[in-house]
Structure formats: C-alpha cells, structure tokens
Structure 1
Amino acid sequence: MSQVSDRSPASEEISQAALAAVQKHAENPSAFLALNAGNQLFIGDGGELVAYREAGRFFVQFGGVFGPRDRQAVVLREFRQHARARRRRIVGIQLQRADAELYAAEGFTLNQVGSSYAVHIPRFTLRGSRFMKLRNKISRARRGGLRVAEVAFAEHRDGVRAIDAAWLRGKGRHVKEIEFLIGETGGPVQQYRRLFLGTLEDRPVAYVSYAPAYGSRPGWLHDLSRRLPDAPPGVMEAINASALEAFSRERAEWLHFGFTPFTGLEASHELTPSSALTGKFLRLLAEKGGAVYPAASQLAYKQKWGPQLVLPEYLAFEGGASPGAVWRLLRVTKSV
C-alpha cells in the first residue's frame, strides 16, 4: 500500500525508502533535493518516490517519479488519486525530458521552465584564453589568503549558520530565502553531502555544499552556496575550483550546476500539449523577471565554467495550465 510521510519521527522508515529510491532510480541530477526536510513523501508499493509540497489547492511535485521506468506511470496515477482524494491538483516542477514525455502521455500540460547545466569532469580544464578571467579571479582570492578545505558540517555548523544569516541580511529585509528548488545543510541525509569551506585568517567567509548525483551521469551537484557580503571577489570560484580538483582526483564523472529557471527557453524544446499563455509568461520572466528569481546572475556563474551539457527542464500542469498554478509555484519556492 502507498504511504505518505509528513517527516514525523515515525516516518524514518519512509525516509530511508525515499533515499533508496533516489539512489537506485534517479536520473535527475537534482534528485537529492527531493529529500529536503520540508518535503512530503509519497512512497509507492514498490518503494517508488514522489516528493511534493502543499500550496493552496495544489500539490507542487518535484522532479517526477523516482522509480523503475516501467512503474512510473502506475505510481503517477496513484499519486493523482492521492491528490484527488484531498481535492488537490498537481503541478510538477523540474521534470527532465523523459519525465515530461510521460506526464504529457498522462494528460498533463507541459512547458519548458528553464535548463540545467553540467561539466564533464574528465574533459574539464581551466587552460586557454576562454578561462583567463576565471583563472585570474581564483588566483586573486588565493593570493589574498583564502584557504579552502573540505570539512564536516557538524564541526563547522556555527560558521555555516553565521554565513547563512549574513547572506540573507545582505539581500534586504524583505527578501525570503528561496526554498524547494535548492538544497540545505544539516538533517538526516547530511552525511551524503560534501561541504567545502573558505576561510580568511581562520574566519569562515563562504561555502559550497555538494549533493550526490546518481543515474547515467553520476557525480556531484553544486548545490547550496553562500558568502559573507564583505567576502572578497573570487571566493566562490576558488571554492568550486578546489572541489573540482578533488572530484577529478577521485575520477568523478560529472559536476552538475543544477537547474536555473527561465533560461535556455527554446520553442524546439516544447512538448504537446503545451500552454501558449504559460509559455509567454515564462518568456516574460526570462526577460524581466530578475526581481522574482536571480536567473541572470546564476546563469553567468554556471556558464563561466564552460558546461558541456545543457538540458531543458519542464513544468507539468494537471488539468491544464493556469496563472494561479504558476503563482502557487512561485509562492511555494518563496520566489515572491
């Protein structure tokens, strides 16, 4: 029988089933975010996972069904029954192309919402004129005394939390921390993440948290990254360069930079059925939506590493797209 978890202490068995589903079946490089503490978990009879959050009349689902390909349609139908029994409609976010095709076949309306970016580590190099500015930025930070080390979160919790608080204050008093589409630090699955911390004179000034990525392009997801507002230029680049060096020594395959909304939108990526109105709205956000989501700055950071892989990602609407569903999606991520 399918199970639902609200992350209560009694749901530990369900949480372990969710972790196993991601490790065994997830093709989405951001799949580890499905295990965030704020998510609700729907577990199919065969251990398949659907992660979601409730937002008004909607269940906002993250990343498709994590399970064997021949079970995904069945579990999606079960999840739709679960939602219908609670008078909720489903909005899917961050679906990969194969997920989107499945949802389209099940009657959902699809629109491309953005793209994800990745570097193939065995082919990666900072040599050449293309990366001159990036190399200079990294060298400047290191010459300025920045030290980067992989550390245990439990031993540096206070420093990380201090960076988080200062980072959020630096964004302005009315800015809320974006959730659901990014990872977290701490919690029951922290042991699977890796934390690279940058310090100046032993003072923590920035960090990047990396989550594991599974599937046919395994490796690491460049996930949560924060810096003090007064940290010097180049600290984030230097931290990521150090992590890339470590991943390369370990012969990791891919460094995924994850999903950026409202980027890489192409008419050729759209599926049938799609919503012309939603597509127009998303393109408007791509052009003028900097106040909603910092897509331009995120994209610039990802592109400076020369990603070899760019993949479209999709929204899926049960029963047709609507401005209300898009609004609820923005609200559940705290983008507005």
Structure 2
Amino acid sequence: MMNQERQTQLENIIILLLALLSAAIFIISFFPYSVWLNKIQTYVEMGRTVERAFSFIMLILCGQLMKRKHTAWSIVIIILMINMIRGMIGYRYGIRIGIAVGSAFFFLFFLFFRKDFCCPSSKTSKKKAILFFLLSFIGVLINAGLSYHYMRIGLINQPVSFFESLKNGMGMIFGMRVLLPGGRGIHYFESLVFFFSWACIFAAVLYAVRPWLAQKQRKASDVQHARTLLNLYSQNPAAYLTLEEDKMLFFGEKVDGVIPYGVVNDTIVVNGDPVCADEDFPQLLSELKNFCKRSAHKLFILNATDHFLEEYKKQGFGYVKCGEEARFCLDEYEISGKKGQKMRMNINHAKKAGVTVEEYHIKTKRDPQIEQEFDRISKEWLEGKKGSLLQFVLGSVGLENPMDKRYFYAKNVQGKIVAFIVYVPFMGLNGYMADVTRHGNDAPGGVMEYINYEAFQVFKSEGVKYGSLGVAPLAGLDEKSSNPVERLLCFVYNHLNECYGFRDLHRAKKKYSPNEWVPSYYVYLPSIPTPDMFYAIVRIQNPQGMMDYVKSFMKNWKRDGKKYGANKG
C-alpha cells in the first residue's frame, strides 16, 4: 500500500501524461492527414474540430485535476467514456482504437483514485454550468429535428424514428456521423448548431470547475472571540477590520488565532496578517495553506507587515512591497520646528476659522443628532470621490455596533459638524489607526489635520504608544526592483493615479510628518501571482470591478481636459 505522498505524485504524473496527450492530439489535428487517415474523410472537418474541442477541454481540466476538483474529475470521466464510445464506433480505423484504449486506461485509473478528487465546486457556478449544458442539448434537439426531416426525405421507403434522429444529432455534436443530406444552406445551418453547442459546452465546463467554499454564517460568539484575539495579539493596524461584516472568519484548529478573508472566484483574499500569538503563527499559517489546498483556492494576503515576513518566505509564499504605513510614536510626535511647519499652518487655519474638536463618547451616551450629521457628511464626501467607496481594506463608520472604535469630530464656528474620523485599535489597544476619514462640503481647510492632532494628544494622555494613518498604497516602491510585480505596481502608481489617487493619498499622509514609514507587503501563494489573483484584489475592494476605475479615469480625464482648454484659452 503506497503512502499518500507517493500516491499524490503518481496521480500528478498521470494527470501530466493526460495533459501531454491532449496537447498532442490538439496539435496533430492541425496537420494534414496522412494517406491512411484519408479513409475517414467523410467526417474530417467536424471530426477534427471535435478532437480539438475535447483535447482543449482536457487541457483545462488537467489543471483543475491537479487541484483535486471533484467536478473536473466527473467531466473527465464523461469525456473518456465518450472517447471510448467514439473509438468503438470507429473501430475500423487504428487511430480510433488507440484513443479508445488510452481513454480506457485513464478512465480506470481515475475511477480507482476517485476518492482523492473531492474538492467541491461553487453551487452558483454549477447552476450556470447546468444552464449552458441544457443550451447545448437544445442544439442537439434542433439538429435531431433537422435530421428527422431530411432523413424522411432522403429515405422515403424506410421508416425513420425520432430516436434515430436524436442519435444522429448527438453524433453531429461529437463527430460520430456523416453530414445530413441536403444543400449547402442546411450544411451551414448544421455547422452553426454544431459550434453553438460546443460554445455552450465550453462555458459549462468553465463554470462547473469553479471552486466553492461553505460560507459559514458569522455568529456573535465568533465575532466576540475574534475581538478578544485582536485586543490581545493584533500588531497590524488593519487587524481590527476583521470584525467588519464583509469578512469571513477562519479560526485555528490546533492554535488559538483568527484570519479574516473573502473569496473572489478561486482566490482567497486575506486583509492583514493572521492574528495570534507570535509562537503560534507558523502553525496557523500552515493551517490556512492546507485550507486553501483542500478547497483548491489560491491565496493573497493584503497589507501584511514585515513582522512575520520571514515565516511567509519559509513556508513558500511570494511577496512584494505594496506601500508604506504612516506611523507615529506618540511620545515623540510633535509639530514644532521646520518639519511640522505645514501641520502647524493647517491647524492654525482651522483654529482661526473657529473650528473645535471633540470626541463622541458613543458608549457613554448615544446622540442621534451627531450620528445624523455623520451620515450627512458621509454622503457629501462620497459624492466628491473619484471612484466608488472601497470595501474590505477599509472599515465602516460602524455606529450600529462600535465596539472598540473611537470617534472624533470637528465643529465650525456655528456649531455645525463639518468632519469626523473613526479610529480603530491595534497593538493590543496600545495603538489607534485613523480608519474612516470624512469631511463635508463646507469643511474649512486644515480640519482633518486638527482632528488627527487632537485625537493623538488624547491617546497620548491615556498612555497609548502608537498612532497610525494607515497604508499609503504603492508608495515607496523601487522602480528598478528585480521583482517584476513591484515594477508593475510602480507603473500603476506612476500612470494610473487618476483611477484612485495614489499620489494624492501619499502626499496627504506625508504632510503629517510621521515618525516612521512602515513597509507593507502583498503576500501570495502560489509564489508567482497570476492575473486572476490581481483581479481578485481589485474586485474584493470594489464590487463594481475594473469598469469603475475606467469610468473614474475617463471622468477625471475629461475634467482635466476642460481645465487645460480653459487655461489655454
């Protein structure tokens, strides 16, 4: 009895062999037929197209078999059965016998090891796959009706059953029969039905192999447990966003820890480092890796710090710098001297406008009027943004369940609230990060700087050690880096600022003169990220996807073009 590791290696070898055979069939189908293959010219064109289609599907499925997806296994079994049937029907031709024998070998092998292919597929995607399979079958039925009609015309003295016509229609789809009697028009129509059916089959296969994770409903006890872990172990300023409702929670089995994640297609996206005691981190990370492996998902961790970077590398993860966090040591932070000149100027501007800053002690006494003002400011702020409100990496105002959040707001000389900032804790409540920052249309200049400065002074008086403004995405990257991913991110930072405002955000944080710029990283598995993984991190932050960034780019491009034209005139 072979052990699991050797069994896995054997399965991978057979899968690679199947992939090579499929690639060979696909390539050979484009070469001119030899003399001995000219005997089957009666169905060469559709037959060759079917060979290409089957081999191309098999190549796709081999990649999914490596991930042990059950649906991929099921489809491969069906294709191998069809190939065996095609071989038996075309037994007079050596190539068909060879394909049938080879298909029988792979069929028996995968049938024997069927228990290893257990990763489930998305239920939603399965429904879409079934829909496309039904559409392909409709193509078969159309062709069957066509066959029935023309076979009756062509075989006047012989009875024709619809079953024979249906078999003829199925044969057309899988390249196992001659063309219908009829003129050029009917042959064109038959080809159209043929390609329509195969397009539906391709779409069905792609949907069917999408992976699936059981999304457990968040229980109040799980959220409270995660909150306890955060207040004990969180070293990453983004950690507190674990408690936001857009995150699923992964808890360790052998160690006490939590990981917040979301899922986009076959990529699991994690926000920040896993949260646990330092000595438990290797085990928790290993459990997350195995979780992704069992469910056939890739893994992408956003905004990881360098605290666990060596362990990520040790466990085979790839990584790249993705920005810098503006952090403040509150004991040392001051705005005196030349370095704090801009901050003093902005704060003085706000003070001269009559602005005052207060903390909203929401856990002591709720004030509906203040909360209504927060809602109004949020609406005004969103209307002035370049794009949609980002999710997943940013928290919510969270007034309905604030937990450990802190709220500071600014009022103008008339007593109207014009801006507010929501702070979330990290470093075991020994640090606070400015997570949600909002200002209204009539906020005076310098108001956000004033709120931050006053909030930091309050935290400092309470003995809190750190303040943070969060990560400036894509800031501080090396354009000459040997890492192609880092060079790609540099290109985005330098040329796609209109889509998000990376440079603007970096400048906004820089004027606060932080004590330290802490590097932030993307960490991913496999160690070479694929394009769909980058799509996943865009999609999870903005459900409207790339189109929202394109719209923002075009909107700002038109606006800047008008400004340029006006200035030129």
The structure with the largest strand share of the pair is: 1
Partner residue in 2 for 1:309: 516
For 1:160, the equivalent position in structure 2 comes to 374
Name the structure 2 match of 1:138: 347
Q: Distance in 2 between matches of 1:60 and 1:187?
A: 26
Runs ≥4 residues deviating over 6 A: none
The partner residue of 2:238 within 12, 23, 30 is 30
2:493 to 268, 283, 286: 286
Name the CA distance, whole Å, in 1 between partners of 2:455 and 2:215: 34
Aligned pair partner of 1:260 in 452, 472, 484: 472
* Residue in 2 that maps onto 1:71: 280
Choose which of 275, 280, 290 in structure 2 pairs with 1:81. 290
Greater CA drift, 285-294 or 162-171? 285-294
Moved more, 186-195 or 157-166: 186-195
Give the Cα–Cα distance (whole angstroms) in 2 for the partners of residues 86 and 158 of structure 1.
Answer: 44
**Who is 1:53 aligned against?**
262
Q: Secondary structure at the match of 1:300?
A: helix
Q: Does 1:204 align with 2:411?
A: no
- AA matched with 2:247: N
For residues 243 and 71 of structure 1, the distance between their equivalents in structure 2, rounded to whole angstroms, comes to 34
CA positional deviation for 1:5: 7.0
Per the alignment, residue 506 of structure 2 pairs with 299
Q: Give SS of 1:23's match.
A: helix
Describe the superposition over 1:219-247 as per-residue Cα deviations: whole angstroms up to 9, x where unpaired: 21122101013322111111112212212
Task: Give the drift of 1:167.
Answer: 0.7
Structure 1 unaligned residues grouped into runs of 5+? none
In terms of fraction of residues, the more helix-rich structure is: 2
Task: Specify whether residues 314 and 59 from structure 1 end up closer, same or farther in structure 2 by C-alpha distance, changes over 3 A only.
Answer: same
The 1:267–1:133 alpha-carbon spacing in structure 2 relative to 1, beyond 3 Å, is: closer
Matched, 1:322 2:535: no
Q: Deviations over 1:11-45 (max 9, x none)?
A: 11111111122111221122112222211110113
Does the 8 Å contact 1:278/1:323 carry over to 2? no
CA drift of 1:70 comes to: 2.6
CA drift of 1:286 comes to 2.1
**Superimposed CA distance per residue, residues 163-203 of structure 1 (whole angstroms, 9 cap, x where no aligned partner):** 1111111225xx21011222222167513111001122222
Q: 1:27 to 1:54 in 2, by over 3 A?
A: same
**Matched residue type, 1:70:** E
In structure 2, the partner of 1:102 is 311
Q: Is the 8 A contact 1:37 1:187 kept in 2?
A: no
Q: Deviations over 1:106-140 (max 9, x none)?
A: 11111111111211111111211332232122112
Q: Matched residues, percent identical?
A: 22
TM-score (norm. length: structure 1):
0.89
2:469·2:509 contact (CA, 8 Å) conserved in 1? yes
Q: Which entry has the higher C-alpha Rg, 1 or 2?
A: 2
Distance 2:398 2:437 in 1: 14
Give the aligned residue type for 2:278.
R
2:191 alignment partner in structure 1: none
d(CA) in 2 for partners of 1:56, 1:176:
22
* Structure 2: gaps spanning 5 or more residues: 1-213, 550-569
| Cα offset, 1:327, TM superposition | 2.0
Q: Which amino acid aligns with 2:456?
A: L
Matching residue of 1:149: 358
Provide the C-alpha distance between the structure 2 equivalents of 1:187 and 1:163, rounded to a whole number of angstroms: 14
Distance of 1:119 and 1:163 partners within structure 2: 27
Single out whichever of 92-101 and 52-61 deviates more from structure 2: 92-101
The higher-RCO structure (CA 8 Å, 6+ apart) is 1
- TM-score (normalised: structure 2): 0.54
Contact 1:211–1:221 (8 Å) recurs in 2: yes
Matched to 1:26, the amino acid is S
Amino acid at match of 2:379: A
Shift of 1:263: 0.6
**Which residue identity lines up with residue 491 of structure 2 in the other structure?**
L
Q: Aligned pair count? A: 323
Alignment of 1:222-237 (within 5 A): 222-237=434-449
Instruction: For 1:6 and 1:240, locate their aligned partners in 2 and report how far apart those are by CA, in whole Å.
Output: 38
Q: Which residue in 1 is equivalent to 2:228?
A: 20
| 8 Å CA contact 1:221, 1:257 repeated in 2 | yes
